[in-house]
A and B are shown apart, each in its own frame.
Chain A
Amino acid sequence: MDFSKKKEGRMQTEDMPEKKSSRRDFMKKMSIAAAAGSAGLVVGGCSGTPATEKMGLKWEEYFKKHYRLMTQEEKDATVTRLERLAKLDRGIDVQMSNQGPHEQVLFGYAFNISRCKGYMDCVEACVKENNLDRRGKTQYVRVFEMDPGQLDPTAGDGQYHHEVPVKNKFYMGVQCFHCENAPCIKACPTKATWREPDGIVVIDYDWCIGCRYCLAACPYWGRRFNWGDPEVPKDEINLNQHYLGNRMRMKGVMEKCTFCIQRTRKGKLPACADACPTGSRVFGNLLDPNSEIRFVLANKKVFRFKEDLGTDPKFWYFMD
């Protein structure tokens, strides 16, 4: 992977200390209105037990705006609050980013169905990277075992549990396909899900009201709902988080694959592509003519799942 903007991610983390002070000023202003709570943000500050601090933070979180309507200052403030809440609630030190998209980047994914052996390392890596609920066994990535003569995952077996590869079978991975014309986005009554300029379809978990209309609208079963509070063992929580990505979800909201936004916006591969031992997963910038994904699209025979629905997914299958 070669994003020319790799540095930006680093720069932003270096900026952090400076920003924190302005964030604090901003929060001080807010705290006049919201009384008790925000005082706690000034760490080691004047008033309150952790309980009142938590209540104050939750209060401010409840009344915050839609992510896309926030100014950069407000985005920084909510990230700080969420980091603090993670500390208070779970005792963990989360690094949460709100890094935006890079210019001239449009992410795309290609899956090599002749290479995949169905090892499911991608699934495991995704679960760990994205803090997926262990109790409900949530998976963003599914792998289907296919018989020859089929190219449609619906005909395959998504529950296989045996040694792989099996002779005369092949494997197809599915996840959110980040459609350009995504039916889920159209369905959402509160605009809580949208497509970022770099092509990633994201959800503002705090804005989602949990009606599940997007889940019904998705023809690829790319979305998951938090039926209860997700459970991840404390020592397994991935602390490198993104506001629109793998931060801890709460009960009653939708979630989905974000192409590992917390990694890919820093120039890394998504966890699934990174973990794949067979090299079946190709991820990259569709706007970069020298990228591997562009090579695949130009030189391989590619196809997409349910092309007839006109959703224009940014996820292709190909064969060697």
Chain B
Amino acid sequence: MTTTSRKGFAAFISDCARWALTGGIAYKLYLAALFGLIGAGIYAYSQQFQYGLRITGMSDIVSWGLYISNFTFFVGVAAAAVMLILPAYILKDKDLHKVVIIGEGVAVGALVMCLLFITVDMGGPLKVWHMIPGIGLFNWPSSILTWDMLVLNGYLALNSLVPLYILYCNYHGRNPVGWKYKPFVFLSIFWAISIHMTTAFLYQGLPARPFWNNPLLGPRFLASAFAAGPAVIMMVLIVIKESTSYPIDTNIFKKLKRIIVASAIINLVMLFSEVFKEFYTFTHHSLSAQYLFFGLEGHNSLVPWIWTAISLNILGTLLFAFDPTKCNPKYLMVAAISLFTGIWIEKGFGLIIPGFVPSPLGEVVDYTPSILEIMITVGILAAGAFVVTMLIKPALVIEMRLREQAGAAGGGE
């Protein structure tokens, strides 16, 4: 690998771009597949842009669908980077410090997805400037949506700039200066909690929707995020371990596993608490939960999804909790995919759609996303994967090189 250090920011960027785009045939195929999916998504979005949101499966009754479901879930994935940042920077955990950059890369990718999901969900994306303070009218502090916009963009900035600074220093073969970035690391820890609490407050603050108007929603968002997020990070780590020469210690998997198990169990306890409240004394406010778990007035499109989700949730939690293989990557991959998919369905679809059914006037309809809607969603997921790849690949090269230099100099870290 050509890793001769050149000076300056331009060299840093051009080297990163070069490292990001070069790779074997499998890597090139992977990138081509992502481009294909992104292209299909762009085509589908052009249709939506032209004809309006009527090309989706949404209606005046179920007025948020696949886009906002995925937005909600990926805010959690973004927030979960804190589960690596906290031990790595604050508790000085050396194992996790080696992979924290990967967690931050995943967070940036997740945030890009969130912002894209919000944008495609808008009826008037060209009017976004109406929200920019100064030239538009920003309904802050009244509207929680404005809070969410602030925290999401702030978190994106924190999670881009801190790793950028650290990598930039490492690229030039020096260690980053603590006071220049540590305060922002501290800030990003609180910020991570706030992005997910704020996103929960979007829903939690609406008495119109009893299914969401529940004080447990925010904490449960956090618990499920701290299970699903590290599961995503673990999946990325396994891919890196299997397909590159970047060393990833088994200890890292052990620690991640511990975080996931703790969060997943708390999440299941809260889920049980919610289910108890809905069904022990069945009120009018439990109709949404009935629609979700058992179907209502003959409408039951979510029932198979939620039971799949709960099964995967429990299965994933058990696989992580009782790991007979002692962190075999393939085993962990299965567990991570299972838990991730379970929480994805439950917290996306399973949370957003029942909030709208039955409608405030008691009407029950089913929601099925349209093909174009799914294409746009998949396109955004591919864009997120692309961003994560573009960030992590050069980061790993820089980190490897720094480690080799340190090794050559004869000293440890």
Q: Give the CA-CA distance A125 to B120 in the complex, in Å.
A: 35
Evaluate contact between A227 and B52: CB separation under 8 angstroms.
Answer: yes
Answer yes or no: B187 CB below 8 A from chain A CBs.
Answer: no
Evaluate contact between A174 and B361: CB separation under 8 angstroms.
Answer: yes
Q: Which of B53, B124, B149 contacts A189 (CB 8 A)?
A: B149
Q: Which of A153, A183, A192, A208 contacts B206 (CB 8 A)?
A: A183
Interface size range on A against B: 35 or more
Q: Give the CA-CA distance A230 to B333 in the complex, in Å.
A: 49
Q: Give the CA-CA distance A309 to B344 in the complex, in Å.
A: 32
Distance in Å from the Cβ of A213 to the closest Cβ of chain B?
Answer: 5
Evaluate contact between A189 and B139: CB separation under 8 angstroms.
Answer: yes
Of B64, B118, B145, B359, most A-chain CB atoms within 10 Å: B145
Q: Give the CA-CA distance A69 to B320 in the complex, in Å.
A: 57
Answer yes or no: B144 CB below 8 A from chain A CBs.
Answer: yes
Evaluate contact between B207 and A191: CB separation under 8 angstroms.
Answer: no
Q: Which of A189, A228, A252 contacts B146 (CB 8 A)?
A: A189
Evaluate contact between A191 and B139: CB separation under 8 angstroms.
Answer: yes
Evaluate contact between B52 and A224: CB separation under 8 angstroms.
Answer: no
Answer yes or no: A225 CB below 8 A from chain B CBs.
Answer: yes
Residue in B closest to A156 when the chains form the complex, CB atoms: B362
Majority SS of interface residues in chain B? loop
Complex contacts, A228 vs chain B, CB 8 Å: 51-54
Of B59, B139, B149, B209, most A-chain CB atoms within 10 Å: B139
Distance in Å from the Cβ of A105 to the closest Cβ of chain B?
Answer: 26
Answer yes or no: B177 CB below 8 A from chain A CBs.
Answer: no
Q: Give the CA-CA distance A158 to B359 in the complex, in Å.
A: 12
Q: Give the CA-CA distance A226 to B53 in the complex, in Å.
A: 8
Residue in B closest to A208 when the chains form the complex, CB atoms: B124
Distance in Å from the Cβ of A190 to the closest Cβ of chain B?
Answer: 5
Q: Which of B122, B136, B360 contacts A211 (CB 8 A)?
A: B122
Complex contacts, B123 vs chain A, CB 8 Å: 208-212, 225-226, 251-254
Evaluate contact between A190 and B137: CB separation under 8 angstroms.
Answer: yes
Which residues of A from 229 to 243 have beta carbons under 8 Å from B?
229
Evaluate contact between B144 and A187: CB separation under 8 angstroms.
Answer: yes
Complex contacts, A189 vs chain B, CB 8 Å: 131, 138-139, 143, 145-146, 149
Evaluate contact between A218 and B360: CB separation under 8 angstroms.
Answer: yes
Residue in A closest to B362 when the chains form the complex, CB atoms: A154
Answer yes or no: B413 CB below 8 A from chain A CBs.
Answer: no
Evaluate contact between B145 and A221: CB separation under 8 angstroms.
Answer: no
Of A69, A210, A226, most B-chain CB atoms within 10 Å: A210
Q: Give the CA-CA distance A189 to B122 in the complex, in Å.
A: 12
Complex contacts, A142 vs chain B, CB 8 Å: 361
Q: Give the CA-CA distance A215 to B356 in the complex, in Å.
A: 10
Distance in Å from the Cβ of B332 to the closest Cβ of chain A?
Answer: 38
Complex contacts, B362 vs chain A, CB 8 Å: 153-156, 158
Q: Which of A136, A187, A188, A209 contacts B122 (CB 8 A)?
A: A209
Distance in Å from the Cβ of A239 to the closest Cβ of chain B?
Answer: 25
Answer yes or no: B208 CB below 8 A from chain A CBs.
Answer: yes
Given contact pairs A189-B143, A221-B360, A229-B52, A216 touches B60 in the complex (Cβ within 8 A): no
Complex contacts, B363 vs chain A, CB 8 Å: 158
Given contact pairs A190-B138, A217-B206, A210 touches B124 in the complex (Cβ within 8 A): yes
Q: Give the CA-CA distance A207 to B124 in the complex, in Å.
A: 9
Answer yes or no: A144 CB below 8 A from chain B CBs.
Answer: yes
Evaluate contact between A216 and B139: CB separation under 8 angstroms.
Answer: no
Distance in Å from the Cβ of A210 to the closest Cβ of chain B?
Answer: 2
Answer yes or no: B94 CB below 8 A from chain A CBs.
Answer: no
Distance in Å from the Cβ of B61 to the closest Cβ of chain A?
Answer: 8
Which residues of B from 228 to 262 have beta carbons under 8 Å from A?
none
Residue in B closest to A185 when the chains form the complex, CB atoms: B142
Answer yes or no: A87 CB below 8 A from chain B CBs.
Answer: no
Residue in B closest to A218 when the chains form the complex, CB atoms: B208
Given contact pairs A210-B124, A251-B52, A225 touches B207 in the complex (Cβ within 8 A): no
Distance in Å from the Cβ of B81 to the closest Cβ of chain A?
Answer: 26
Of A66, A69, A144, A213, most B-chain CB atoms within 10 Å: A213
Answer yes or no: B130 CB below 8 A from chain A CBs.
Answer: yes
Residue in B closest to A252 when the chains form the complex, CB atoms: B123
Complex contacts, A309 vs chain B, CB 8 Å: 207-208
Residue in A closest to B118 when the chains form the complex, CB atoms: A211
Q: Give the CA-CA distance A186 to B206 in the complex, in Å.
A: 10
Answer yes or no: A220 CB below 8 A from chain B CBs.
Answer: yes
Q: Give the CA-CA distance A309 to B53 in the complex, in Å.
A: 31
Complex contacts, A190 vs chain B, CB 8 Å: 130-131, 136-139
Distance in Å from the Cβ of A184 to the closest Cβ of chain B?
Answer: 9
Answer yes or no: A219 CB below 8 A from chain B CBs.
Answer: yes
Complex contacts, A209 vs chain B, CB 8 Å: 122-125, 127-128, 130-131
Q: Give the CA-CA distance A66 to B123 in the complex, in Å.
A: 17
Residue in A closest to B58 when the chains form the complex, CB atoms: A227
Given contact pairs A158-B363, A216-B208, A227-B59, A252 touches B122 in the complex (Cβ within 8 A): yes
Complex contacts, A153 vs chain B, CB 8 Å: 361-362
B residues at A contact (CB < 8 Å): 51-54, 56, 58-61, 63-64, 118, 121-128, 130-131, 136-139, 142-146, 149, 202-203, 206-209, 284, 355-356, 358-363
A residues at B contact (CB < 8 Å): 62, 66, 69, 136, 142, 144, 153-156, 158, 174, 183, 186-192, 207-213, 215-221, 224-229, 251-254, 309
- A–B complex contacts, Cβ < 8 Å, 11 sampled: A156-B362, A158-B362, A211-B145, A213-B143, A216-B208, A216-B209, A216-B356, A219-B360, A225-B53, A227-B56, A252-B124
Top 7 nearest A-B pairs by Cβ distance? A210-B123, A252-B123, A154-B362, A251-B52, A219-B208, A227-B54, A228-B54
